[in-house]
Amino acid sequence: MVEKNPASTIKPLSYLHRWWLAIRPRTLPAAGSPVLIGFAVAWSVGKFRWLPALVILACALLLQILANLVNDVGDFQKGTDTSGRLGPTRVTHSGLLTPRQVWLGVGVVIMLAVAGGAYLAWVGGWPVLVMGGAAILGAILYTIGPFSMSDYGTGDLFALIFFGVVSVVGTTYILTGQVYPLSWAGGVGAGALVTAILVVNNVRDIETDRRAGRKNIPVVWGRKAGEIEYLLMLVLALSVPLAALVFGWANVWILLPWLCLPRGIQLLRRIQTLPAGPGFNKLLASTAQLVLIYSILFSIGVLLGG
């Protein structure tokens, strides 16, 4: 839906509601879902700990909120957001919050993430500092800087690595002090579907991104390339459980994520047929739900496999 006139939007919304829009709550389940796989691996080897686990989940959500806030104010200040954008309301562009307010929010989120990271580093050692520092830096550089990832098409790789592999492998390492093959597998699988969310976003915004000078896959090679990328992410996510079974990392229960196949096919057909417009926002939410379902099924498969 094209955004309403800011003047008609500001009055009905409370200050709290504006910040609720700013953090983009619909994106949070996708950010936290891969962590569940790390929890399941730790539980299956008898080394799950509740307090570190809750802090890990909180930090994962904080990193997503950080990326959302920086993206909101960063795109506004670069002039990327225009009145013709098709995505959900951006609070800075709409005048719901000032750039200064959003940057202050960024600072608060970073402090909270650093505090949580300090505790996790105390639990898991110096590698946690490296992972956490890189994740915070990546969440910021995704939007801002002379070579921002969203402008040069590397955001997809960032999502796969940090919101997939690092999220799952890091969780398992902090809780157990070790890394297991299933952690890598689950990280790649969940990360592929998180990347698919970005693909939907890029296909939806192909025209506005082109005008802004961005160089992601749909802009450079066309919408069809984005649709193929979405397909490849689905194939990668579903190949991972099969590989885990073939290599003996888990038993047949690890194939539970294949229950996502019918829904994945449905969403693939949708991205191939939807006209550019607000319908992509629903597809975005549906793909985020798919990440959650996949992560839950993968986790159940790990737990049932023992």
pTM for the whole thing?
A: 0.87
pLDDT value of residue 82: 56
Tell me which amino acid residue 227 is.
Answer: E
Q: Is residue 1 part of a domain?
A: no
Distances (CA, A) of 160 to 9, 62, 188: 35, 18, 7
Instruction: Indicate the number of domains in the chain.
Output: 1
Q: Is residue 41 part of a domain?
A: yes
Task: Provide the residue range defining the domain that includes 280.
Answer: 6-11+29-305
Q: Which residues contact 246 (CB under 8 A, 6 or more apart)?
A: none
C-alpha dihedral sign at 113, 61, 45, 50: positive
Give dist(CA 130, CA 38) in Å, integer.
18
For residue 270, what are its two tokens? 């949708």
Q: Is residue 20 part of a domain?
A: no
Give dist(CA 40, CA 43) in Å, integer.
5
Give dist(CA 140, CA 117) in Å, integer.
17
- Per-residue pLDDT tens, the chain, 306 aa: give them: 333 444 444 457 888 889 998 888 888 888 899 999 999 999 999 999 999 999 999 999 999 999 899 988 888 887 665 555 556 677 888 888 899 999 999 999 999 999 999 999 999 999 999 988 998 988 888 777 666 777 777 888 888 998 899 999 999 999 999 999 999 999 999 999 999 999 998 898 888 878 877 788 888 898 999 999 999 999 999 999 999 999 999 999 999 999 999 999 999 999 999 987 778 889 998 999 999 999 999 999 999 986
Q: Is residue 154 part of a domain?
A: yes
Q: Is residue 286 part of a domain?
A: yes
Instruction: Please state at what angle helix 126-141 crosses helix 167-176, rounded to 10 degrees.
Output: 160
Q: Is residue 19 part of a domain?
A: no
Give the closest residue to 35 by CA, choosing from 14, 61, 74.
61
Q: Is residue 194 part of a domain?
A: yes
Give the closest residue to 117 by CA, choosing from 129, 103, 101.
129
DSSP letter assigned to residue 247: T
Q: Is residue 288 part of a domain?
A: yes
- Whether the CB-CB separation of 250 and 226 falls below 8 Å is answered with no
Give dist(CA 266, CA 270) in Å, integer.
6
